[in-house]
Amino acid sequence: MKRSPSTLGFVHRFISGKDRRLTLVLLHGTGGNEEDLIPLGSVLAPDASLLSPRGKVVENGLPRFFHRLAEGLFDVEDLKFRSRELADFVNDASATYGFEPKSVALVGYSNGANIAAGMILGEFLVPAAAMLFRPMVPFTPDNPPNLNGLRVFISSGNFDQMVPRGESERLARLLRDAGAKVTHNREDSSHGLTNEEARKASRWLLDSLTE
Active site residues: 110, 160, 191
Q: Helix, strand or coil for residue 101?
A: helix
Cα–Cα distance measured from residue 7 to residue 168, given in angstroms and rounded to the nearest whole number: 35
Query: How many Cα atoms are found within 13 Å in the side-chain-facing hemisphere of 184?
Result: 18
Cα–Cα distance measured from residue 69 to residue 28, given in angstroms and rounded to the nearest whole number: 20
Decide: 30 and 54 in contact? Cβ < 8 Å: no
